[in-house]
Amino acid sequence: MRNSVAIDARDNVVVAIYPLSSGETAVFSLPDGSEGAVTAVQDIPLFHKVARCDIAKGQTVVKYGEYIGVATSDIKAGEHVHVHNCASSDELKDADAARQDTSRVAVRHVEAGPTRTFWGYRRSDGRVGIRNHVLILPTSICASDTTERIARAVDGCVTFHNQNGCSQVARDQQMTIDTMAGLAANPNIASVLAVSLGCEGCQNDLVVDAIRERTDKPVRTLVIQQVGGSIKAVEEGTRIARELADEASLERRVECPVSELIFGTNCGGSDTSSGLGANPLIGEVSDWMVAQGATSVLCETPELFGGEHILARRGKTPEVAEQTLKIVSDYEKYVQMFGAEMREGNPSPGNIAGGLTTLEEKSLGCIHKGGHSDISAVYPYAAPLKAGEGLVIMDTPGNDASSVGGIIAGGCQLVVFSTGLGTPTGNAVAPVLRLTANRNTAQTMADNIDFDASATIYGPESMIELRDRLIDQIIDVCNGRPTRAEALGYTETALPHLCNYM
């Protein structure tokens, strides 16, 4: 029985898709359909790597056909390959950067098939939402508890806890304003009540002006210090929120083509199953979205590290290729300003427990969410995304809540989120649909998982069959079906900032 996977013929490691005991034979299939085998000489945990052949100290460890690190000791065929004998290498990274070829490569184009539609809310600015929320927007941390009380009091209202909004340098404050404006402008939002304390850096008028630059939807305002304190602000805010919610309730869904979607992708709580099954499945959906004329967004810049040259080769223009490399290089330099390296926080302890050894290995699995399409553009954090642009990249942190928040602030109406170990991540503005290819997680985290993608690894469904089934579920979510995160009321949202508070 096949109990392991060799992803690429060049790989010198294979992945155990069942736990292996010492002395057990790891049987794996190769991409050409042939089979190989190696005897495990140690116990191999689920989704961890076993050496396919002898790997000498200093030799590269190869998975996905790319190096993921260097052997820090001699590794015998059948041995467990992980953090105890494999590590990232700056020398390897620098050598690879020197030989990077960003010339265009052929990409796989998917047949569009019949045009699919969903039922959405056509906004006054022409864009289409899949939810009809009233956003009670806190312009700073000092207004966040007030907005929470207002939103809880009125059905149809959403909010989030804003840690920023004051004590920020100008550039940092502008990023916060741009992110808030993007969340407010997201087409899932019918109208906005912007609430400020009154003395913070992100003054209400600054935030409202930024919203007006992006959309003409209804925006009301409330300043806590002007109305006489928190209790009066909650009373007045609740009255305004009810008026906005009543107006929003008159909106009706209309039929819209999938081409009007901006499809967000993300991953978190990753293990080996993410790169092996779940992310490639998202990539298939992404390619289908692009073929339908939609925009698909790849993000999480730190998790492109080690795979950025592969993405750069798919840039539609030399400028896009260079921008793809630059955002990763800039992120690394930023981290180094603090005397740190990107590898220090990545992979996380959970990633390592799930079989991911190096940041390069994690990244090579992460970029599968982008499928095989051309990359049309690279966007700054929370910048307005265009519809009908195909596959694009947004420069975001790797942190789940802030990366999801950034692409939603850019205009994503929904996000499909892969996880290996399980995570409850949601968002106040847009639904987050979570899937896993780890069948243990699909069972133990069933309350949080929307789609069991374990058949991508174990069968019997094909990848295309799973893709079509996931697309059907995405259309259902667009039509109003709540995701698990929505049903549980999980709305984690984090706004990043560029430097420490003043």
Task: Judge if 145 and 237 occupy the same domain.
Answer: yes
Give the distance between the most distant pair of CA atoms in the chain: 75
Task: Judge if 263 and 244 occupy the same domain.
Answer: no
pLDDT at 255: 98
* Residue 127 phi, psi (nearest 5): -80, 170
Asked whether residue 123 is assigned to any structural domain, the reply reads no
pLDDT at 100: 52
Asked whether residue 471 is assigned to any structural domain, the reply reads yes
Task: Judge if 162 and 238 occupy the same domain.
Answer: yes
pLDDT at 99: 45
Distances 418 to 48, 71, 308 between C-alpha atoms, Å: 19, 29, 20
Question: 141-153 vs 230-248: helix axis angle to the nearest 10?
Answer: 50
Which residues in the chain land under pLDDT 70? Answer: 90-108
Q: Of 410, 114, 105, nearest to 291 (Cα)? A: 114
pLDDT at 247: 98
pLDDT at 33: 83
Look up the pTM and report it: 0.94
Q: Which residues pair with 118 in a beta bridge?
A: 256
The letter for the amino acid at 369 is: K
pLDDT at 103: 64
The letter for the amino acid at 329 is: S
Asked whether residue 493 is assigned to any structural domain, the reply reads no
Task: Judge if 201 and 349 occupy the same domain.
Answer: no
Task: Judge if 266 and 300 occupy the same domain.
Answer: yes
Task: Judge if 157 and 59 occupy the same domain.
Answer: no
- What is d(CA 395, CA 402) in angstroms, rounded to the nearest whole number? 11
Q: Give me the domain span that covers residue 404.
A: 256-488
Q: Of 284, 289, 283, nearest to 259 (Cα)? A: 289
User: Dihedral (C-alpha) 344, 349, 354, 360: value to the nearest 10 degrees?
Assistant: -10
Residue 325 and residue 306 in contact, taking contact as beta carbons nearer than 8 Å: no
Task: Judge if 27 and 149 occupy the same domain.
Answer: no
Task: Judge if 164 and 69 occupy the same domain.
Answer: no
Asked whether residue 498 is assigned to any structural domain, the reply reads no
Task: Judge if 263 and 239 occupy the same domain.
Answer: no
Asked whether residue 496 is assigned to any structural domain, the reply reads no
What are the tens digits of pLDDT across the range 352-361? Answer: 999 999 989 9
pLDDT at 98: 45
Query: In a 10 Å sphere around its CB, with 0-12 CB exposed, 13-18 middle and 19+ buried, how is residue 356 labelled?
Result: buried
Residue 307 and residue 364 in contact, taking contact as beta carbons nearer than 8 Å: yes
Task: Judge if 327 and 468 occupy the same domain.
Answer: yes
What are the tens digits of pLDDT across the range 203-251? Answer: 999 999 999 999 999 999 999 999 999 999 999 999 999 999 999 999 9
Give the sign of the dihedral formed by CA 233, CA 236, CA 242, CA 245: negative
Q: Can you read off the two tokens belonging to residue 270? A: 């990753």
Residue 23 and residue 48 in contact, taking contact as beta carbons nearer than 8 Å: no
Task: Judge if 223 and 79 occupy the same domain.
Answer: no
- Among residues 38, 66, 95, the one where a domain terminates is 95
- What is d(CA 356, CA 48) in angstroms, rounded to the nearest whole number? 7
- Among residues 79, 95, 111, the one where a domain terminates is 95
- What is d(CA 198, CA 146) in angstroms, rounded to the nearest whole number? 13
How many domains does the chain contain in total? 3
- What is d(CA 7, CA 372) in angstroms, rounded to the nearest whole number? 16
Task: Judge if 143 and 74 occupy the same domain.
Answer: no
